[in-house]
Copies of this chain bind each other. A is one copy, B any other.
Amino acid sequence: MAATIHDVARLAGVAISTVSKVMSDSPRISALTKNRVREAMQQLNYHPSRHARGLARNCTETLGVLMPLRRNSAFQNPYVFEILCGIERHCASQHYSVMLLDAEALASKPKAVQQLVAERKVDGVILHADLHAPQLIRQFTALALPFVVIGRQPGHHSWVDVDNVHAGEIATAHLLAQGYQHLQFIGNHLHDTISADRLQGFLRALESQHLQPCAPPLYAQAGHYAEGLGLWARLQQLPMRPDAIVVAGNPLAAGVMAAAQADGIRIGYELGIVSFDEYPYAEQTQPPLSVVDIDLFALGEQAAREWFLQWNKPTHCSQSLLLDQRLLVRASSSR
């Protein structure tokens, strides 16, 4: 079997407590013995048992991530898995492990969360601001389990989110800089908070140039590609036709673009289009779509970073927006 702390101690000719102190790099151990002990560890390929350590220190060095883990989740919602990758990356840098947890399972059985902390499976969790969130947040708070929410969420707790307002500004400012003048906004659907934020940024960017939107925003029902056709038709009926559009959703933008092209409009000349997110369509449309891209991997890293701040200082609480977004200029908006 694997070597234990006793084996190391014996080989190095010291007591186990000395070995333990070397591991925590205690300043009261001579450099000489430290070296001897470390060499013994190397030789025996020693790694402390996480169970024993967890038992003694009452922590797990494991962070739970609540995810939607239904069938088709990865296809319908690759975003959260991209965030997951970022979380894992940062955790690994802190020698923490990531445990996958099914958000629905946890939310549907009220005792499940209690069990999670009673079994001491994780030191804390990261969750998404979805419909289960409010209930779960209440439970985590009650059980004093440190957590970070991905996505803005009311209440006194840490969250991180993408700054969609800023993204809207970036997109709009770019179109203006390209010389487009009559700008229109299209949202995914009326009650989509992401669309709302992007609209806000759109308006702010226009305002800063003392401009007005071409017409009130239009909205799709669900943000699907196919809806783009109908929206294009509605745009044609406006008193003042836009020469550029900021579309909140990438699939919707592809649809609008296709419909416009079917009418003989040259995208990127008569009509500029900017949308958001590289995925799923941006690079594959004809012409390629300009987008403001969001670094979800970085968002995951930041969520994890935030969690560790809180773990090390339980009173810590921060609510921060990720500003790191890059505009990818492609043919759909470059005259």
Contact = CB atoms under 8 A, between A and B. Distances in A.
A305 interface: no
Interface string A23-67: 000000000000000000000011111111011000010100100
A74 B70 contact: no
Given A60-B51, A89-B69, A45 B102 contact: no
Task: Tell me which of A74, A120, A284 has the highest count of chain B C-beta atoms within 10 A of its own C-beta.
Answer: A74
A190 B3 CA distance: 48
Range, interface on chain A: 35 or more
Contact of A75 (B82, B98, B121): B82
A88 interface: yes
A79 B278 CA distance: 18
Interface in A72-123: 72-75, 78-79, 81-82, 84-86, 88-89, 92, 97-100, 102, 105, 111, 114-115, 117-121
A307 interface: no
Given A2-B117, A46-B118, A88 B74 contact: no
A269 interface: no
A219 interface: no
Contacts of A225: 284
Contacts of A79: 74
B3 A47 contact: no
Contact of A70 (B73, B85, B119, B279): B85
B279 A50 contact: no
A50 B60 CA distance: 10
A88 B81 CA distance: 14
- 6 smallest CB-CB distances across A and B, nearest first, come from A74-B81, A47-B118, A51-B54, A74-B82, A51-B55, A98-B100
27 contacts: A2-B118, A2-B120, A47-B114, A47-B115, A47-B118, A48-B119, A50-B120, A50-B121, A51-B51, A51-B52, A51-B60, A65-B100, A69-B88, A69-B89, A70-B85, A71-B82, A71-B297, A73-B82, A74-B81, A74-B85, A75-B279, A75-B280, A78-B81, A84-B100, A98-B99, A98-B100, A99-B99
Given A2-B118, A97-B100, 7 more contacts: A45-B111, A49-B55, A51-B55, A74-B74, A74-B82, A78-B78, A97-B99
